[in-house]
């Protein structure tokens, strides 16, 4: 093949429209004009304003008009990026990623010559929201441009001041003022990350550290529990001040806090601070206090054996590594065994019945007056797993009504043409579940999942994403109460669900699917079952995989979760013929676009459903950060 033929078959990718602006183009554009009057920290408002401005006179051929359009496209794309302040290495991500591989802007798009235009725009723009974003991105791409980092730090602090004065507002389903909000927290986090990058001795870094101290004092004065954890945790993460001092402050506050879960958070954060300060005695003291908080919470949840055992298990975890607590741990183990005695049927006792024939308009009517917590629980419990006996009965009826399809042998192929499942055409005879029945069940279940995702899951998910800013802190606050979520996987679950609700299904399915296996083992352990296997030949002991759990411990799974849920998990993640989500994810077989299928979206929803079932009846005691 000649070079010309190769180029014709594989043309070079065209640069994105938002990377075409030049330094000369900036002379034809007023960067602040499209956003004049905007006084919000909601970055999508700026993206929309620039997008609308770039659409005006888009068909005109005048060079000045086209130059202005290229500048507005560039600035709008930069403002469209999603700020993830807790990720210091990749603080900005694409707002949207599509099944065909297309996406919105990311910082890497502006490397090379576009960075010069972006850098000059950062110098010229006056609006603080745009100035902060452009300077931040420019320094992120070129660490030699330290003047951009200094400008970004100063502007982030200015934005916090504007929030505090009420001149600017943020958007969380409704307009909110004040610096003790998620946007204020993210701006402070980025200011500190940039300060650490250029050195703590710079004037801007000194100002950032002083502003952090002011926010800590304001959070204390207002008794905003979430804000206190934000800003003192930020102090620890970036090493701004003495860790032992922070531990003492949080421990003193915890001792005066009445609410057990808030007290638990404070003791845990204090223990972390003391550990950083290498003060072992204080660290152990806070770990014991945290364990006591969990025991108290277990007593409050005594009507729910699953929830009580969860808290007692975590109480034991808190004591790990603490010396001279053998009597305490022995007593807790006895309490745990007693709590586990009543756990077997609890997972299947929760229900949220919903008429599957309701159309999308009815779903919208049901959710229009719900707050964020109500929406999340409605989303989690709006469907229940089908009765497996009913699935088999319906499959038999279908085969009886259409016998020809079951009399002829059939094979099922994957996208590469390989046979992944085969039926021999056994007809309708026999009392067991035949391969032909499994095929009918898979078809019916695929249709049910498609209807559920199209008419309910996506309707409610898009409504939540449009009305509320879902940070990982919201999911941490929700899922920390769930016995289904191991504490050491809480952040991973929260990141997975934040991707899911934002529409990044690829990230969500690859994060959440492996977590399901771990949670199944976690719940079985809580119920007193051994989930390991011993290899005699190698004399080693390993945890069972999800396949091994369903093959060797299916009765135990059924007794804990109920057969409808375990069958649903099996049909979605494991069994052929079916989507086999776990196999596809584990072995890299999920094709581009596969994560956007109804089966993959349902799989993520099912995991969220499992997380929320045990805490559904206790939602009144759960506070989400707003």
pLDDT of residue 86: 85
pLDDT at residue 597, as a whole number: 92
With respect to residue 326, please indicate whether it lies within any of the assigned structural domains.
Answer: yes
Closest CA to 463 of 359, 375, 564: 375
Whether residues 309 and 280 fall in one domain = yes
Residue range 43-87, pLDDT digits in tens: 889 999 999 998 876 666 688 889 999 999 999 999 999 898 888
User: Angle at which helices 225-238 and 182-198 pack, to 10 degrees?
Assistant: 10
Range of the domain at 492: 360-621
Last residue of a domain, one of 343, 375, 402: 343
Residues 313 and 412 in one domain: no
Q: Examine residue 372 and state whether it is found in any structural domain, yes or no.
A: yes
Contact 74, 118 (CB under 8 A): yes
Residue 484 domain-assigned (yes or no): yes
How crowded is the C-beta side of 622, counted as CA atoms within 13 Å? 22
- Mind listing the pLDDT tens digit for each residue in 260-303? 889 999 999 999 999 999 999 999 999 999 999 999 998 888 77
Whether the model pTM is above 0.85: no
Q: Is residue 423 part of a domain?
A: yes
> Which of the residues in the chain have pLDDT under 50?
1, 6-7, 172-173, 349-356, 411-420, 427-430
Q: Is the peptide bond before 574 cis (omega within 30 degrees of 0)?
A: no
- Residue 573: in which H helix or E strand, if any? none
What is the predicted pLDDT for the residue at 163? 92
For residue 294, is it within any domain? yes
From 286, 308, 343, the end of a domain falls on 343
What pLDDT, on the 0 to 100 scale, is given for residue 416? Answer: 41
Overall domain count for the chain:
2
Q: Is 140 part of a structural domain of the chain?
A: no
Q: In 10 A of CB 539, how many CB atoms? A: 7
Q: In whole angstroms, what is the distance from residue 509 CA to residue 583 CA? A: 12
SS3 call for 84:
coil
Q: Return d(Cα 118, Cα 116) in angstroms, integer.
A: 5
- Mark whether 433 and 403 lie in a shared domain: yes
Choose the final residue of a domain: 343, 371, 387.
Answer: 343
Tokens of 579: 């989507």
My answer on whether 616 and 474 are in the same domain is yes
């Amino acid at each position: 093949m000649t070079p010309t033929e190769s180029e014709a078959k594989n043309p070079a990718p065209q640069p994105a429209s938002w990377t075409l602006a030049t330094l000369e183009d900036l002379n034809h554009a007023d960067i602040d004009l499209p956003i004049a009057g905007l006084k919000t920290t909601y970055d999508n408002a700026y993206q929309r304003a620039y997008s609308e401005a770039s659409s005006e006179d888009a068909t005109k051929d005048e060079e000045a008009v086209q130059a202005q359009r290229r500048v507005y496209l560039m600035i709008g794309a930069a403002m469209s990026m999603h700020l993830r302040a807790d990720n210091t290495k990749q603080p900005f991500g694409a707002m949207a990623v599509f099944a065909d591989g297309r996406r919105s802007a990311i910082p890497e798009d502006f490397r090379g010559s576009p960075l010069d235009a972006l850098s000059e725009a950062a110098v010229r723009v006056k609006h603080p929201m745009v100035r902060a974003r452009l300077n931040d991105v420019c320094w992120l791409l070129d660490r030699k441009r330290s003047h951009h980092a200094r400008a970004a730090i100063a502007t982030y602090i200015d934005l916090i001041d504007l929030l505090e004065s009420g001149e600017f507002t943020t958007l969380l389903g409704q307009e909110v003022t004040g610096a003790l909000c998620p946007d204020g927290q993210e701006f402070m986090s980025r200011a500190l990350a940039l300060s650490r990058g250029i050195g703590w001795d710079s004037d801007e870094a000194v100002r950032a550290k002083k502003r952090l101290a002011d926010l800590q004092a304001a959070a204390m004065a207002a008794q905003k529990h979430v804000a206190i954890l934000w800003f003192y945790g930020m102090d620890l993460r970036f090493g701004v001040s003495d860790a032992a001092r922070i531990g003492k402050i949080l421990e003193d506050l915890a001792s005066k806090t009445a609410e057990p879960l808030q007290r638990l958070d404070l003791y845990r954060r204090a223990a972390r601070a003391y550990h950083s300060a290498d003060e072992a005695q204080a660290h152990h003291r806070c770990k014991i206090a945290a364990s006591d908080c969990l025991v108290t919470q277990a007593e409050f949840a005594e009507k729910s054996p699953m929830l009580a055992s969860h808290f007692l298990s975590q109480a034991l975890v808190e004591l790990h590594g603490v010396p001279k607590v053998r009597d305490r741990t022995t007593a807790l183990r006895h309490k745990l065994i007693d709590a586990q005695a009543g756990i077997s049927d609890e997972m299947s006792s929760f229900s949220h019945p919903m008429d599957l024939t309701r159309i999308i308009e009815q779903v919208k009517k049901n959710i229009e007056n719900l707050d964020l917590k109500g929406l999340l629980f409605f989303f989690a419990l709006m469907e229940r797993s089908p009765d497996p006996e009913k699935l088999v009965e319906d499959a038999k009826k279908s085969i009886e009504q259409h016998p020809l399809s079951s009399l002829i042998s059939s094979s099922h192929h994957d996208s590469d043409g390989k046979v992944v499942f085969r039926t021999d055409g056994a007809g309708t005879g026999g009392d067991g579940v035949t391969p032909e029945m499994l095929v009918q069940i898979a078809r019916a279940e695929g249709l049910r999942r498609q209807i559920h995702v199209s008419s309910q899951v996506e309707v409610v998910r898009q409504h939540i994403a449009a009305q509320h800013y879902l940070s990982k802190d919201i999911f941490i606050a929700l899922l920390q109460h769930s016995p289904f979520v191991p504490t050491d996987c809480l952040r991973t679950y929260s990141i997975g669900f934040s991707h899911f609700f934002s529409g990044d299904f690829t990230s969500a399915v690859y994060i959440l699917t492996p977590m399901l296996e771990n949670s199944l083992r976690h719940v079985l352990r809580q119920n007193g079952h051994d989930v390991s296997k011993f290899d005699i030949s190698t004399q080693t002991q390993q945890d069972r995989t999800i396949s091994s759990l369903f093959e060797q411990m299916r009765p135990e799974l059924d007794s804990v979760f109920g057969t409808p849920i375990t069958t649903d998990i099996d049909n979605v993640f494991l069994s052929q013929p079916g989507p086999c989500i776990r196999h596809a994810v584990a072995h890299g077989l999920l094709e581009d676009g596969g994560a956007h299928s109804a089966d993959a979206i349902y799989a993520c929803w099912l995991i969220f459903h499992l997380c929320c079932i045990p805490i559904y009846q206790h939602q009144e005691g759960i506070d989400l950060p707003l």
